[in-house]
């Protein structure tokens, strides 16, 4: 556990992580915690609200007889739609500063929407857990922290909002931080930055607060601009799920290639899940287990010496291996596990409950296989974190640990080590609905 709430800034974390120009984060909090106001405040104070949008908010605020702008109205379009029963869903919002671009996964805070938070969190690098300073750490806070932990988000901000209503009192802030630390100590090792703020007045959101001189840490925006954005995979051995085999055949009036190359071509396209790749590297193809060396490497159309991160590449090998979509090219000395059974934590997303006898499919990286629920080990009550052994089924929003048998092998890592090779979705084979998302735990 690394609580850095009182530290002036988190410089030590930045040193070994190059800053990225894009950060994806989610906001989690109950409806009344001021989530909409906070997002509105962030957008407004970073000059990311267009004049026409602002004018609409101004007009709505006036209609409601408010003397000041109600910034929560910036996300209010969604709320109105929720009233009409149209959305219970994640919306994505975009803003930028001179340091970074941001994508906010804005998921509704209602308790019954675990699945929405899981959905938004699956692509987020950071979670803002919003707490109302008057209420302190509540069940909802623990739930959100647990879900952020489940989804392996490594950067958390504990945003203690409505400090204005507690007379900017430092002891209130410290008490909440202590309460939260006591709980979060059970949840792995996320980096947590606690920030006392007021979304309503904008204190410590973008502008540092004059009302809380006792707080020396970064503002919310400053912290968002500084944290390492990229998901850290460890071990970061090569994982390249094959998406497509690109082939150019010559002769018989065969199609001409886009590149105008006049030789036959057989290469493999995909995005690196982890690790690096360069020309001459020895790779192993799964499931065959055969090895070859990388003859050429391109990032899309550009020849590159080295690829990493999640770049979309096309590579050729020096040996003719039988490789097709769904196979995986991996580091021979650090291969993933090849398994026909996984133990995973699952979030059930569908309204229709899990029916263990039904036919389900699992999509894992670029590979889709038949799957069978062999055992429902336990269900976790996310509010109390109490687990119920051997449930009969799973209903929407349930989190449960399962053992799944697979018809063909998958090439997996633990989710804690690799977000891409450690996650999967479950598809109902007859309705084609995405019914669950899972993270591999052992």
Partner 1 sequence: MKTPTAIQLNASSSQLANRSDRWQHQAQDDHLDLLEAEAIFIMREIAAECRNPVLMFSGGKDSAVLLHLAYKAYYPERIGFALLHIDTGHNYPEVIEYRDRMARHYGCRLHVRSVEDSIRAGSVRLRDALESRNPHQSVTLMEAIAEWDFDACLGGARRDEEKSRAKERVVSVRDEFGQWEPKNQRPELWSLYNTRVDAGEHLRVFPISNWTELDVWQYIQREDIALPELYFAHRREVIRRGDLLVPVTALTPAREGDVVETVSCRFRTVGDISCTAPIESSAATLADIIQETRQCLITERGATRLDDRASEAAMEQRKKEGYF
Q: Which of residues 300-359 bind partner 1 (CB under 8 A)?
A: 300-301, 309-312, 314, 325, 349
Site string for partner 1, 161-180 (x = CB under 8 A): --------------------
Member of 11, 16, 83, 85 binding partner 1 (CB under 8 A): 85
Cβ proximity to partner 1: between 89 and 375 the closer is 89
Does residue number 86 form part of the binding site for partner 1 (CB under 8 A)? Answer: yes
Structure tokens at 257: 């290639």
Applying CB under 8 A, which of residues 321, 372, 425, 441 lies at the interface with partner 1?
425
Q: Which stretch binds partner 1 (CB under 8 A): 157-165, 172-180, 255-263, 278-286?
A: 255-263
To partner 1, the closest distance from the beta carbon of 123 in angstroms equals 6
Q: How far is CA 96 from CA 42, 185, 225, 393, in A?
A: 10, 33, 10, 44
Q: Which is nearer to partner 1, 160 or 238 (CB)?
A: 238
Cis peptide before 85 (omega within 30 of 0): no
Cβ distance to partner 1 smaller for residue 85 or 389: 85
Least Cβ distance, residue 175 to partner 1 (angstroms): 36
Please name the residue that has the structure tokens 């502008």. Answer: 207
Residue 298 is a binding residue for partner 1 (CB under 8 A)? yes
- CA-to-CA distance for 311 and 143, rounded, in angstroms? 34
State yes or no: residue 271 binds partner 1 (CB under 8 A): yes
Task: State the minimum distance, in angstroms, from the CB of residue 397 to partner 1.
Answer: 11
Stretch that binds partner 1, among 141-149, 168-176, 268-276, 384-392 (CB under 8 A): 268-276
If phi over 0 gives left and psi between -120 and 50 gives alpha, with beta otherwise, what is residue 263? beta
Q: Which of 265, 287, 335, 441 binds partner 1 (CB under 8 A)?
A: 265
Comparing CB distances to partner 1, the nearer of 10 and 107 is 107
Tell me the window of 27-35, 193-201, 214-222, 423-431 that interacts with partner 1 (CB under 8 A). Answer: 423-431
Nearer to partner 1, 357 or 432 (CB): 432
Of positions 9, 20, 175, 236, contacts partner 1 by CB under 8 A: 20
255-286 core/surface letters (b: 16 or more CB in 10 A; e: else): eebeeeeeeebebbbbbbbbbebeeebebbbb
Q: Does 56 bind partner 1 (CB under 8 A)?
A: yes
- Binding partner 1 by CB under 8 A: which of 68, 167, 255, 392? 255
* Residue of the chain from 15, 16, 21, 303 that contacts partner 1 (CB under 8 A): 21
Phi-psi region of 265 (alpha: psi -120 to 50; beta: other; left: phi over 0): beta
Which stretches does DSSP call E strand in 152-289? 155-161, 191-196, 239-241, 244-248, 265-271, 277-278, 282-286
> Any contact of residue 100 with partner 1 (CB under 8 A)?
yes
User: What separation in angstroms does the CA of 283 have from each of 237, 334, 432?
Assistant: 11, 10, 35
Considering only residues 209 through 248, tell me which ones interact with partner 1, judged by CB under 8 A. 243-244, 246-248
Tell which phi-psi region holds residue 77, choosing left (phi > 0), alpha (psi between -120 and 50) or beta: alpha
Binding of partner 1 by 269 (CB under 8 A): yes
Q: Which is nearer to partner 1, 55 or 111 (CB)?
A: 55
- Contact with partner 1 (CB under 8 A): which of 4, 7, 69, 88? 88
Q: Does 432 bind partner 1 (CB under 8 A)?
A: yes
Going by C-alpha positions, the residue among 144, 201, 196, 198 that lies closest to residue 175 is 196
Rounded CA-CA distance 176/162 in Å is 13
2 vs 256, which CB is nearer to partner 1? 256
Report the C-alpha gap between 262 and 392 in whole angstroms: 60
Tokens representing residue 140 in the block? 């909802």
Q: 234 or 256: whose CB is closer to partner 1? A: 256
Distances (CA, A) of 79 to 67, 76, 82, 109, 297: 21, 5, 5, 12, 48
Q: Are the beta carbons of 113 and 29 closer than 8 angstroms?
A: no
Q: Does 92 bind partner 1 (CB under 8 A)?
A: yes
**CA dist 13 to 17, 151, 154, 194, 387, Å?**
7, 21, 12, 15, 35
Site for partner 1 in 360-389 (CB under 8 A): 363-364, 366
**Residue 164, both tokens:** 């204005």
**Binding letters toward partner 1, positions 116-145, x by CB under 8 A:** x-xx--xx----------------------
CB of 425 to partner 1, least distance (A): 5
Q: Hey, is 72 helix, strand or coil?
A: helix
């Amino acid at each position: 556990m690394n609580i850095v709430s009182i530290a002036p800034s988190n410089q030590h974390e930045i040193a070994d992580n190059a800053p990225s120009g894009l950060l994806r984060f989610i906001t989690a909090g109950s409806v009344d915690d001021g989530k909409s106001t906070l997002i509105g405040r962030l957008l407004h104070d970073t000059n990311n609200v267009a004049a026409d949008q602002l004018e609409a908010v101004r007009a709505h605020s006036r209609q409601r007889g408010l003397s000041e702008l109600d910034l929560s109205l910036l996300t209010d379009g969604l709320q109105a739609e929720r009233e009409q029963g149209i959305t219970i869903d994640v919306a994505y919002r975009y803003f930028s500063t001179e340091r970074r671009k941001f994508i906010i996964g804005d998921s509704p805070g209602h308790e019954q929407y675990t699945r929405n938070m899981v959905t938004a969190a699956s692509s987020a690098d950071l979670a803002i857990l919003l707490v109302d300073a008057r209420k302190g750490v509540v069940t909802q806070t623990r739930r959100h922290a647990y879900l952020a932990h489940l989804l392996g988000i490594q950067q958390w901000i504990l945003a203690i909002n409505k400090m204005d209503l507690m007379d900017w009192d430092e002891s209130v802030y410290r008490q909440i931080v202590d309460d939260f630390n006591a709980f979060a100590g059970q949840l792995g090792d996320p980096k947590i930055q606690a920030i006392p703020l007021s979304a309503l007045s904008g204190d410590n959101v973008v502008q540092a607060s004059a009302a809380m001189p006792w707080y020396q840490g970064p503002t919310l925006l400053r912290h968002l601009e500084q944290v390492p954005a990229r998901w850290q995979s460890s071990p970061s051995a090569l994982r390249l799920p094959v998406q497509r085999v690109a082939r150019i055949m010559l002769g018989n009036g065969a199609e001409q290639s886009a590149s105008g190359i006049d030789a036959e071509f057989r290469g493999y396209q995909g995005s690196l899940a982890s690790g690096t790749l360069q020309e001459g590297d020895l790779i192993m193809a799964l499931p065959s287990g055969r090895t070859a060396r990388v003859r050429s490497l391109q990032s899309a159309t550009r020849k590159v010496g080295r690829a990493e991160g999640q770049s979309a590449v096309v590579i050729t090998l020096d040996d003719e291996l039988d490789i097709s979509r769904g196979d995986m090219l991996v580091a021979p000395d650090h291969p993933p596990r090849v398994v026909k059974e996984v133990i995973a934590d699952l979030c059930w997303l569908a309204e229709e409950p899990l029916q263990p006898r039904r036919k389900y499919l699992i999509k894992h990286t670029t590979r889709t296989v038949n799957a069978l629920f062999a055992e429902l080990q336990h269900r976790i009550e996310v509010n109390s974190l109490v687990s119920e052994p051997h449930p009969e089924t799973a209903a929407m929003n349930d989190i449960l640990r399962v053992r799944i048998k697979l018809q063909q092998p998958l090439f997996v890592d633990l989710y804690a080590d690799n977000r891409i090779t450690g996650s999967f979705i479950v598809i109902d084979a007859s309705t084609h609905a995405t019914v669950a998302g899972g993270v591999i735990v052992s």
